[in-house]
């Protein structure tokens, strides 16, 4: 049977570190408020003057993953690029990354599933691999939030939580009878909650797509009903964890590490409590990176592998919820 195997991972965080204290220069907030309500202590942002997009961060993460896989860019059959902060309105960041990798005609597709880009991306890769369309796939989750945030008191609820960063994963099909690789995945979307976390402009449903009025009102910045997203996460994450475990024929005890999307430390602590698992079984890095959306889980996975918290024969469960709203979970078992 064909299974989808993770060959390697890589991550890249831009070097500029913005601490909670730094944010207090630009808006009415405090180090304590941010830390207590979110767990975040610092985040990485691209240079303020611009010039660095999601494909640039994705390129750096991809180079590391490709090197670790022993792949040349030409070995890639398909690029899947997950981002809510594309370099430009179109073409997609996957096309830009393809060119930056020096490739000529390798296909690239962008997916716009925000914080659940990892789930939609890996499920897509799994389906392409199992159908025989592609055997070696590069997945990239990358965000440059900082150039699109309202760095004033008006936007403080959203701005303090987001960071820039990218993660990359090389995946390959492998014939085996062993239960390894992507074991099960669940994907969900509930578009009725689209307004709960939204950036309205530029918008094709308006003509012109961006007006001076929209800019004045800050409608090109993300807006969030934080409370309702928070409550949805605390309901949906445990729910999708159990349904995905059932699909894989596994129990909570079979999971060596849970890697939830890094949106808020309190959400992840609530998730841990709902699952009744020990703190050591949860991976957190939101303290250092904030919420890097499509980058969040690939970055965390890369770190957990590097720190050897997981390795050969580990079983990992990923879960996340974000704008859309979309949510999902995925279980992966590493080979012996």
- Catalytic residue annotation: 115, 261, 291
197 to 226, contacts with ligand UT7 by CB under 6 A?
197, 226
Confirm or reject binding of residue 9 to ligand UT7 (CB under 6 A).
no
Q: Which of 52, 229, 259, 301 binds ligand UT7 (CB under 6 A)?
A: 229
Which residues 295-324 are close enough to bind ligand UT7 by CB under 6 A?
322
Q: Which of residues 256-285 bind ligand UT7 (CB under 6 A)?
A: 263-264, 267
Interface with ligand UT7, residue 184, by CB under 6 A: no
Q: Does 171 bind ligand UT7 (CB under 6 A)?
A: no
- According to CB under 6 A, which one of 230, 281, 282, 309 is a site residue for ligand UT7? 230
Site string for ligand UT7, 37-66 (x = CB under 6 A): xx----------------------------
| CB-nearer residue toward ligand UT7: 57 or 151 | 151
Backbone region of residue 247 per phi and psi (left: phi > 0; alpha: psi in -120 to 50; beta: other values): alpha
CB of 43 to ligand UT7, least distance (A): 13
Quick check: 29 binds ligand UT7 (CB under 6 A)? yes
The answer to whether residue 236 forms part of the interface with ligand UT7 (CB under 6 A) is no
Neighbours of 33 (CB within 10 A): 14
Whether the ω angle into residue 202 lies within 30 degrees of 0, i.e. cis, is yes
Type and span of the H or E element at 212 = helix 212-217
Residue 238 contacts ligand UT7 per CB under 6 A: no
End-to-end CA separation in angstroms for the chain: 17
Contacts 24+ apart (CB under 8 A), 214-223: 218/150, 218/154, 218/155, 220/148, 221/148, 221/149, 221/150, 221/155, 221/158, 222/148, 222/149, 222/155, 222/158, 222/162, 222/197, 222/198, 223/158, 223/197, 223/198, 223/199
Strand partners, 171: 6, 137
Q: Does 115 bind ligand UT7 (CB under 6 A)?
A: yes
What does the block give as tokens for 166?
A: 């990218």
**Residues making contact with ligand UT7 (CB under 6 A):** 29, 33-34, 37-38, 115, 156-157, 160-161, 197, 226-227, 229-230, 233, 263-264, 267, 291, 322
């Amino acid at each position: 049977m064909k299974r989808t195997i993770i060959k390697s991972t890589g991550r890249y965080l831009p070097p500029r570190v913005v601490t909670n204290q730094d944010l207090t220069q630009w808006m009415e907030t405090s180090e304590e408020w941010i830390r207590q309500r979110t767990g975040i202590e610092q985040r990485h942002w691209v240079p303020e003057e611009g010039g660095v997009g999601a494909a640039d961060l994705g390129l750096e993460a991809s180079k590391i993953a490709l090197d670790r896989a022993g792949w040349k860019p030409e070995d890639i059959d398909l690029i899947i690029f997950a981002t809510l902060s594309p370099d430009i309105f179109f073409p997609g960041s996957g096309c830009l990354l393809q060119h930056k990798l020096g490739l000529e005609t390798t296909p690239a597709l962008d997916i716009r599933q925000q914080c659940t880009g990892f789930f939609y991306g890996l499920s897509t890769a799994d389906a392409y691999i199992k159908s025989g369309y592609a055997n070696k796939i590069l997945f990239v989750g990358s965000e440059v939030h900082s150039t699109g945030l309202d760095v004033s008191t008006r936007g403080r609820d959203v701005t303090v939580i987001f960071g820039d960063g990218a993660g990359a994963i090389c995946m390959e099909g492998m014939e085996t009878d062993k239960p390894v690789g992507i074991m099960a995945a669940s994907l969900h979307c509930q578009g009725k909650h689209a307004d709960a976390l939204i950036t309205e402009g530029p918008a094709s449903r308006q003509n012109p797509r961006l007006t001076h009025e929209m800019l004045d009102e800050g409608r090109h910045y993300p807006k969030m009903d934080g409370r309702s997203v928070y409550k949805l996460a605390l309901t949906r994450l445990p729910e999708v964890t159990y349904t995905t475990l059932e699909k894989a024929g596994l129990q909570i005890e079979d999971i060596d590490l849970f890697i939830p999307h890094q949106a808020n430390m309190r959400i992840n602590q609530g998730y841990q409590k709902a699952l009744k698992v020990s703190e050591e079984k949860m991976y957190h890095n939101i303290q250092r990176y904030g919420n890097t959306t499509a980058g969040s889980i690939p970055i965390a996975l890369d770190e957990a592998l590097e720190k050897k918290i997981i390795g050969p024969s580990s079983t990992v469960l990923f879960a996340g919820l974000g704008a859309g709203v979309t949510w999902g979970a995925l279980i992966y078992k590493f080979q012996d």
